[in-house]
Amino acid sequence: MPQSFDELLDYGKKFSGLTPELETCLKDIAPVITPHLETVTHAFYGHLLTIPNTADHLEGRVEHLKAAHLQWLSNLFLHTIDAEFAKTMYRVGDIHVKVNLPIEFMSGSMTLINNQLVLLVLDLFALDPKKCAQALCAINAVTGLALMIMLMVMQKSYKESAIAEELEKFLTISGMSRSLFSNLANAYE
């Protein structure tokens, strides 16, 4: 994993295809798109509520989650895509890890969000095919970047969990105490 948020952002942009031109496009379409993002958020949560197993993650929190989601979604268009953006996406991913959100919820949710955004863009820019295409590319790139950063947090968490599991197995098999293992590990640092 990249060592800094600047490196993480550069790395992620290579995979998502988010170019300076597409970043400019996001800013250009923001005044037209952002007034409609509440509708996207409501449709997204309406769909989530129809999916089995999501109730445990949403119950009693839907309105709070909608507000946080709308802010996150708006920031994709309004904020500069910089190291601070990467840091924020990393924190969002960390929150999802802390609430034990299954990985398919995050990746599937991004697809649902993009579906709504595609319909919105087609509606708003139907008379300008070039602008429509560029807007769709920009949205796909920024949501792909955001998802990639959030999933990197999940991947890191799962790796750490797997290492911890392996350590527990080793300690059980060897009969070594955790404090003895820690002392040995510290002696070789």
Domain hosting 83: range is: 5-159
DSSP run (H or E) holding 79? none
- Within a domain: residue 172? no
- Asked whether the beta carbons of 142 and 9 are under 8 A apart, the reply is no
Integer Cα distance of 69 and 40 in angstroms: 10
- Within a domain: residue 20? yes
- Within a domain: residue 171? no
Radius of gyration of the chain (CA): 20
Question: In total, how many domains does the chain have?
Answer: 1
- Within a domain: residue 165? no
- Within a domain: residue 108? yes
At 100, give phi and psi (nearest 5°): 55, 40
Query: What CATH number does residue 39 fall under?
Result: 1.10.490.10
pLDDT at 181: 66
What does the pLDDT look like over 10-53, one tens digit per residue? 999 999 999 999 999 999 999 999 999 999 999 999 999 898 88
pLDDT at 166: 67
Closest CA to 26 of 15, 39, 16: 16
- Within a domain: residue 62? yes
- Within a domain: residue 187? no
What does the pLDDT look like over 100-112, one tens digit per residue? 787 788 888 999 9
Closest CA to 149 of 89, 94, 80: 89
- Within a domain: residue 166? no
Average pLDDT, the chain: 87
Question: 71: pLDDT confidence band, cut at 50, 70 and 90?
Answer: very high
Instruction: Enter the tokens of residue 161.
Output: 């969990």
